[in-house]
Chains A and B, each alone.
Chain A
Amino acid sequence: MTSFVLQVVQTLLCIALAPLVTGLVRFVKSRLQGRRGPSLLQPYRDLYRLLQKEAIVADSASWLFRFAPYVTFAAVWLAAAMVPSFSTEMLLTPAADLIALVALLGLARFFTALAGMDVGTSFGGIGASREMMIASLAEPAMLMMTFTLSLLAGSTAPAIIGGFVVGGGVGLEVSLALALAAVVMVAIAETGRIPVDNPATHLELTMVHEAMVLEYSGRHLALMEAAGMLRLLLYMSLIACIFAPWGVAQPGAGLGGLALGFVAYCGKVAAMAVALAWFESMIAKMRVFRVADFLGGALLLAVLATIFLYVSEAV
């Protein structure tokens, strides 16, 4: 029963928190640039505004175009709800498997890309082809990282890996650090942040994710935007759960433990949002074809993590 309640809380929490995280990143970024910046609550207002608006659909759009926002949003939301945030005692925790997460995100991406191409505008096509190029490079790195972690902890479930890290595997920090670097790089690419993509650009020709959703409006766009915000929170939760699992309420924890877990989770996410904003302020976007080098680097780091693991075990 507790696990069911906690799961419901977690599911609602991530949808409630995701716009705030995006707002925090934007806010910190504008402060770093010397601007006042929009309010932290602006993403909520944006979503509300979009939901009020009429959804305009192109004449050439098929059912897929209307269908895609719901699938995308649902898949990302489910994925975000599966990653343990403040407690590991949740209904979906046993199902929260890194490979399942990758599959859910892949499903969302697949439908977004299809929808981008569906209307037949050139920007949608460009965005979809770039997104697929990035995905084809990011997914191997992500799976390699999963592989390393599963070798370490004997499981692909984030909660168990987190538990293993808290337990303190001795001498495994090198592998863990390399895996962390790899997952951060993948996360930057997957969430469409600088230097891979620029979420704030108005330049159609440079867009990746934005180009695919360029034709959306009204509630459809709101769902796509919300899915983007959820994806950012998801990766932050995942990194927090695996690499910084301290404070997470373990099964059987009381109300105090849950509160502590919640505060710790918020602190971790906020710290990551600030770090992301700082990083994005200090770096320019890379040329489209440099993304291959960037994600190749992520794959390499993940492979190195595995190798170091064997080396350290042999020693």
Chain B
Amino acid sequence: MIGNPSLLDYLPDARRVALHRPWPRFLLDEAGWRHLVRQLGVSDWELLGVWAEAAEVHCALRDETTGDIAVASLACKDHYPSLSPARPAAIRLERAIRDLYGLVPEGIEDPRPWLDHGRWPRRAPLAATRHDPPAGPHRYKFLPVEGNGLHQIPVGPVHAGIIEPGHFRFHAAGETVVRLEERLGYQHKGIEGLMAGRTVAEAARLAGRVSGDSTVAYAIAFARAVEAASGAEAPPRAHWMRALLAELERVANHLFDIGAICNDAAFGLMLAECGAMREAILQANARCFGHRLLMDLVVPGGVVCDVTRETMALLGGLVKDLRPRFEELVNLYDESPSLLDRTVGAGVTAATLVHRFGAGGFVGRAASRGLDARRQPGYPPYDDLDVAVPVYAEGDVHHRVLVRIDEVRTSLDLIRRILDEMPGGPLHRPIPTRGGEGMALVEGFRGEILMWVRLSEVGRVVRCHPRDPSWFQWPLLEAAIEGNIVADFPLCNKSFNCSYSGHDL
């Protein structure tokens, strides 16, 4: 990387914004932004997110070499140079920005709408100026595929099972998939619009509902972003409590995923067993904390729950009970050749793609990208816990299962350690009413969640952007299924288990 400046060396030419924590934010002019796009083409800075406001576009970057994180911003009226030529992962984010804010990315390869299906009461609902209502639901133009004997298979958005809505358009030659195109946005709830103008407490409840299965991770991300914005810090015991909840959530979700992946290969025994173990966790959650999915327990400033001697004993007993049951299931998985025959070598994601898209979680870790927000940039209490991160190179369904298996083990150990080493002290510290901007990276079970928030002087949310890890995983699913057979798609899809709700905002 000779001649390539590091991210923080490159950006300070621009104006640095005061009160953006914990990482710096820099204002670029249009020429500077264009230069940044060119610079991205030659540097290994990784895109963490792209989001907008009525008249400003932000992008968060991380320097892979130094680990530094920074946000670059561009004030713009109605258009801005697209980042997508340098970072294809930005394409869908920029399409979403155009749908929501009316800001047009110049030079984007794919100008079609993304979240807006032409059914909203008006176009660009979050733009500074009022737009007209759409003429009606538009016809979405799927990418054309030409050739002899190719046929289309439209799947969804309504599926035969109880799963979230998403449309998949297959172009297939017989059973072989030539191209898969995803169309999402059916779960759009207007989270970003709903957050604006709310009090921090109200917005925290909304943040916990962006993607219900990662409610704890989202709540932690929002809390940490707000704490950063207002310059507050949660008390130590609150950090440990948050980690306890987050690991319980991670284990429950991973267990369910492992079972569901096997069930998609018609191996129902694993789903039944994993489902029972997940249920044990959810019931313990309900008994210890009053909510099966642990919603609304993490708030800015700390947590609103505690563990007593009894609930600690209950959780300790749960972990002790789950460990051998889980190992038995892992053995069953390892010793079922018919199952391994389906998972090994299916749905391979290339390591280069995973790096290019910055995909995290099990998708990244199964294909040699071993980043984990708990380690890098890291946040308390994980700094003291030394989390092991499994990394494999193969990138197939089997290794996405293995990553989950390893993470369940790690998380069960972590829960034990957290219970043993939990410090005393207060659980909540009121956050000062103060304006500012804050950002947080938190590891959910799917990967890294980015949360960016701007607070007004009276402590209300001006703008909040949650970026789900699935934004960078969905595009890889399209790549993973190419050349595979149609009948293997459900298995690959389940091994990705991307969030629809978190992505559709």
Q: Which residues of A contact B (CB under 8 A)?
A: 29, 32-35, 122-123, 125-126, 129, 194-195, 198, 200-206, 214, 281-290
Are A35 and B486 in contact, with the CB atoms below 8 A? no
Shortest CB-to-CB span from B321 to chain A, Å, is: 15
Shortest CB-to-CB span from B97 to chain A, Å, is: 32
Task: Say yes or no: A202-B160 contact (C-beta < 8 A), given A284-B336, A286-B341, A287-B341.
Answer: yes
Q: How far is the CA of A291 from the CA of B175 in the complex (A)?
A: 14
Are B161 and A284 in contact, with the CB atoms below 8 A? no
**Sampled A-B contacts (27; CB under 8 Å):** A32-B269, A33-B271, A33-B272, A34-B272, A122-B151, A122-B153, A126-B153, A126-B486, A195-B266, A201-B266, A202-B160, A202-B162, A205-B153, A205-B486, A206-B264, A214-B160, A281-B269, A283-B267, A283-B336, A284-B265, A284-B336, A286-B338, A286-B341, A287-B341, A287-B488, A288-B487, A289-B485
Contacts of B265 in A (CB 8 A): 284-285
Question: Per a CB cutoff under 8 Å, which of B151, B268, B336 touches A200?
Answer: B268
Q: How far is the CA of A167 from the CA of B485 in the complex (A)?
A: 50
Are A195 and B338 in contact, with the CB atoms below 8 A? yes
Are A285 and B266 in contact, with the CB atoms below 8 A? yes
- Complex: chain A residue closest to B276, CB-CB: A34
Are A203 and B161 in contact, with the CB atoms below 8 A? yes
Question: Per a CB cutoff under 8 Å, which of B155, B161, B273, B342 touches A287?
Answer: B342
Shortest CB-to-CB span from B447 to chain A, Å, is: 24
**Which residues 329-366 of B sit at the A interface, judged by CB distance below 8 A?**
336, 338-339, 341-342
Contacts of A285 in B (CB 8 A): 265-267, 338, 342
The 7 A-B pairs at the shortest CB distance, nearest first, are namely A202-B161, A285-B266, A33-B272, A198-B266, A284-B339, A203-B490, A284-B267
Q: Which residues of B contact A (CB under 8 A)?
A: 151-155, 159-162, 174-175, 262, 264-269, 271-273, 276, 336, 338-339, 341-342, 485-490
A contacts with B: majority SS: loop
Are A202 and B486 in contact, with the CB atoms below 8 A? no
Q: How far is the CA of A21 from the CA of B503 in the complex (A)?
A: 45
Question: Per a CB cutoff under 8 Å, which of A34, A35, A205, A284 touches B489?
Answer: A205
Contacts of A35 in B (CB 8 A): 272
Shortest CB-to-CB span from B268 to chain A, Å, is: 6
- Complex: chain B residue closest to A193, CB-CB: B266
Are B273 and A286 in contact, with the CB atoms below 8 A? no
Contacts of A205 in B (CB 8 A): 153, 155, 486-487, 489-490
Contacts of B271 in A (CB 8 A): 33
- Complex: chain B residue closest to A133, CB-CB: B175
Please count the residue pairs between chain A and chain B whose beta carbons lie under 8 angstroms apart in the complex. Answer: 83
Q: How far is the CA of A204 from the CA of B167 in the complex (A)?
A: 13
Task: Say yes or no: A284-B262 contact (C-beta < 8 A), given A33-B272, A289-B175.
Answer: yes
Contacts of B174 in A (CB 8 A): 129
- Complex: chain A residue closest to B175, CB-CB: A288
Task: Say yes or no: A122-B266 contact (C-beta < 8 A), given A195-B338, A203-B161, A287-B341.
Answer: no
Contacts of A194 in B (CB 8 A): 266
Q: How far is the CA of A123 from the CA of B487 in the complex (A)?
A: 11
- Complex: chain B residue closest to A32, CB-CB: B269
Shortest CB-to-CB span from A109 to chain B, Å, is: 19
Are A206 and B342 in contact, with the CB atoms below 8 A? no
Contacts of B152 in A (CB 8 A): 122
Contacts of B338 in A (CB 8 A): 195, 283-286
Q: How far is the CA of A170 from the CA of B339 in the complex (A)?
A: 40
Contacts of A289 in B (CB 8 A): 175, 485
Question: Per a CB cutoff under 8 Å, which of A126, A203, A281, A282 touches B264?
Answer: A203
Shortest CB-to-CB span from B153 to chain A, Å, is: 4
- Complex: chain A residue closest to B484, CB-CB: A287
Q: How far is the CA of A71 from the CA of B420 in the complex (A)?
A: 68
Question: Per a CB cutoff under 8 Å, which of A34, A129, A201, A288 touches B273?
Answer: A34
Q: How far is the CA of A34 from the CA of B339 in the complex (A)?
A: 19
Contacts of A125 in B (CB 8 A): 151
- Complex: chain A residue closest to B264, CB-CB: A203
Are A203 and B153 in contact, with the CB atoms below 8 A? no
- Complex: chain B residue closest to A203, CB-CB: B490
Shortest CB-to-CB span from A72 to chain B, Å, is: 21
Shortest CB-to-CB span from B17 to chain A, Å, is: 48
Q: How far is the CA of A288 from the CA of B342 in the complex (A)?
A: 10
Are A206 and B490 in contact, with the CB atoms below 8 A? yes
Are B160 and A122 in contact, with the CB atoms below 8 A? no
Q: How far is the CA of A201 from the CA of B339 in the complex (A)?
A: 16
Are B269 and A33 in contact, with the CB atoms below 8 A? yes
Are B273 and A203 in contact, with the CB atoms below 8 A? no
- Complex: chain B residue closest to A285, CB-CB: B266
Contacts of B151 in A (CB 8 A): 122, 125
Are B266 and A287 in contact, with the CB atoms below 8 A? no
Q: How far is the CA of A34 from the CA of B268 in the complex (A)?
A: 11
Shortest CB-to-CB span from B241 to chain A, Å, is: 33
Contacts of B160 in A (CB 8 A): 202-204, 214
Question: Per a CB cutoff under 8 Å, which of B155, B262, B266, B341 touches A204?
Answer: B155
Contacts of B485 in A (CB 8 A): 287-289
- Complex: chain A residue closest to B263, CB-CB: A201
- Complex: chain A residue closest to B485, CB-CB: A288
- Complex: chain A residue closest to B272, CB-CB: A33
Q: How far is the CA of A289 from the CA of B266 in the complex (A)?
A: 16
- Complex: chain A residue closest to B273, CB-CB: A34
Given contacts A122-B153, A194-B266, A283-B267, could you give 13 more A-B pairs where the C-beta distance is less than 8 Å?
Answer: A34-B273, A34-B276, A122-B154, A126-B153, A200-B268, A202-B161, A205-B153, A283-B336, A284-B338, A284-B339, A284-B341, A286-B338, A288-B485
Are A33 and B268 in contact, with the CB atoms below 8 A? yes
Shortest CB-to-CB span from B485 to chain A, Å, is: 6
Contacts of A287 in B (CB 8 A): 341-342, 485, 487-488
Shortest CB-to-CB span from B438 to chain A, Å, is: 42
Contacts of B267 in A (CB 8 A): 283-285
Contacts of B490 in A (CB 8 A): 203, 205-206
Q: How far is the CA of A285 from the CA of B271 in the complex (A)?
A: 14
Q: How far is the CA of A102 from the CA of B131 in the complex (A)?
A: 66
Shortest CB-to-CB span from A220 to chain B, Å, is: 17
Contacts of A282 in B (CB 8 A): 269, 336
